[in-house]
Amino acid sequence: MTTRDRLTYFIYHHRTGLSVWTLALVLSLFPFYYDNPYILGITNLVAINVIVVLGLNLFIGYAGQISLGHAAFFGLGAYGSAIFTVYYHVWPWPAMALSALLVALTALVIGVPVLRLSGHYLAMATLGFNIVIYSVLVQWDEVTGGPSGFAGIPPLSIGSLLINDEFRFHYVVWGVVLVLCTLSLNLVRSGVGRGLAALAVDERVAGSLGVNSAREKVKVFILSAVFASLAGSLYAHCFCFVNPDTFGIFASLDFVIMVVVGGMGSIWGSLLGAGLLTVLPEFLDTFESVKDIIHGLILVLILLFLPQGFITGLLDLIRTNLALRRRKNVKA
- The amino acid sitting at 324 is L
Let me know how many helices (H) and strands (E) the chain has, helices first.
15, 4
Higher pLDDT residue, 65 or 209?
65
**Does residue 124 form part of some domain?**
yes
Using pLDDT thresholds of 50, 70 and 90, give the confidence band for residue 11. Answer: low
**Does residue 315 form part of some domain?**
no
Structural contact between residues 55 and 258, judged by C-beta atoms closer than 8 angstroms = no
- Inter-CA distances, 265 with 53, 114, 149, 219, Å: 11, 22, 35, 17
Beta bridge mates, 158: 161
Domain that holds residue 80: 33-248
Number of domains in the chain: 1
User: What is the number of residues in the chain?
Assistant: 332
| pLDDT value for 175 | 93
**Does residue 272 form part of some domain?**
no
Q: Does the structure show a pLDDT above 60 at 10?
A: no
| pLDDT value for 319 | 76
Mean pLDDT of 11-19: 66
Burial of 57 (0-12, 13-18, 19+ CB in 10 A): buried
53-67, 190-204, 289-303: least confident range: 289-303
**pLDDT over 70 for what percent of the chain?**
85
2-16, 132-146, 175-189: least confident range: 2-16
Structural contact between residues 184 and 166, judged by C-beta atoms closer than 8 angstroms = no
Burial of 279 (0-12, 13-18, 19+ CB in 10 A): middle
**Does residue 37 form part of some domain?**
yes
| pLDDT value for 188 | 85
Burial of 329 (0-12, 13-18, 19+ CB in 10 A): exposed
Q: Does the structure show a pLDDT above 70 at 292?
A: no
Give pLDDT tens digits for 38-62. Answer: 889 999 999 999 999 999 999 988 8
Using pLDDT thresholds of 50, 70 and 90, give the confidence band for residue 79. Answer: very high
- Three-state DSSP class for residue 132: helix
For residues 217 and 223, what is the distance between their CA atoms, to the nearest angstrom?
Answer: 10
| pLDDT value for 46 | 94
| pLDDT value for 121 | 86
| pLDDT value for 192 | 76
pTM value? 0.88
Q: If we measure between CA atoms, which residue out of 184, 211, 183, 207 comes closest to residue 195?
A: 211
Mean pLDDT of 206-221: 81
Q: Does the structure show a pLDDT above 70 at 283?
A: yes
Mean pLDDT of 292-296: 66
What are phi and psi for residue 157, nearest 5 degrees? Answer: -150, 150
Q: Does the structure show a pLDDT above 90 at 65?
A: no
DSSP letter (8 states) at residue 154: P
**Does residue 25 form part of some domain?**
no
Give pLDDT tens digits for 122-132. Answer: 889 999 999 99
Using pLDDT thresholds of 50, 70 and 90, give the confidence band for residue 294. Answer: low
Contacts (Cβ under 8 Å, ≥6 apart) of 234: 48, 51, 96, 172, 173, 176
Cα end-to-end span (Å), the chain = 28
Give pLDDT tens digits for 136-168. Answer: 999 998 889 889 889 999 999 888 888 888 999
For residues 295 and 272, what is the distance between their CA atoms, to the nearest angstrom?
Answer: 15
| pLDDT value for 106 | 94
**Does residue 261 form part of some domain?**
no
- Three-state DSSP class for residue 157: strand
**Does residue 212 form part of some domain?**
yes
**Does residue 241 form part of some domain?**
yes
